[in-house]
Homo-oligomer: A and B are copies of this chain.
Amino acid sequence: MTEQKLILVTNDDGIHAKGIHALVSVAKKMGRVVVVAPDKPQSGMGHAITIHHPLRIKKLTLFDGMEAYSCSGTPVDCVKLGIYEVLQGVPDLILSGINHGENSSTNVLYSGTMSAAIEGAMENIPSIGFSLCDYNADADFSAAVHFAERLIQYVLKIDFPSRLCLNVNIPNIPKVKIKGIKICSQAHAYWADRFEKRLDQFGEAYYWLMGDFIDQDQGVGTDLHALKNGFVSVVPTHFDLTAHAHLTTLKNLENA
């Protein structure tokens, strides 16, 4: 008999989001699942950790009696609390998502979903972040669930590279139209930001962050290209931000 896998599940849309329930429905086929997820939406929290406030966790009976905790902190807090306080041990796999909305290209930096997976990689635990390219709270996760199951099974089977995680995005098209899975690089895209200025009841200004996603790089091999062409994109993601090529081009800076 093979040993049962221990799987930690989190997300950034909060423990009540449809996407994490979809992910748990897959994960529970593969092992013992423990959920530690934010008690409220934490989208856009990036790799934030909570150091100026205490953290709270609360045991919930949400997932058919499965062990589940809501956490007052960020997705990265959930991973840290999950490992060091709830499990007090190392899970075999960390799954994050399924996010309501795309986390392709440079969105990986802002994404709480992916930051949870990156935190897993930093702990040297195989980790996968899943995102469906549909922001709808009631999105249809059936295609995402299908590909998540295939990818999780594969990852549990192989000798997963150390200090790595996967950024998986599923296009918002019916399952039968999805052409397959593509290993991709992170496209260069950016948000053309703007702020909507409003006045409050005292006449004081406040701002909402708005913006348009400019996908200027849709080159073959990028995640944006794969998604536009009907594939599930998988970006092998690490956390070495060194621009290695510039170690030599900027060498003269040592004489600044």
Residue numbers of A with Cβ under 8 A of B are 41, 43-52, 54-57, 74, 76-77, 80-81, 83-85, 106, 108-110, 115, 118, 122-123, 150-151, 153-155, 161, 163-164, 167, 180-186, 188, 190, 193-195, 197-198, 204-209, 221, 234-244, 246-247, 249-251, 253-256
- Give the dominant DSSP class at A's interface: mixed
Other A-B contacts than A47-B110, A48-B74, A56-B205, 15 sampled, CB-CB below 8 A, are A46-B48, A46-B49, A47-B48, A48-B110, A56-B207, A57-B205, A109-B122, A123-B190, A155-B253, A161-B249, A183-B246, A183-B251, A188-B240, A236-B242, A238-B241
Say how far A254's CB is from chain B's closest CB, in angstroms. Answer: 5
Q: Is the CB of B254 within 8 A of A243?
A: no
Q: Is the CB of A181 within 8 A of B256?
A: yes
Q: Is the CB of A49 within 8 A of B56?
A: no
- Closest B residue to A249 by beta carbon equals B161
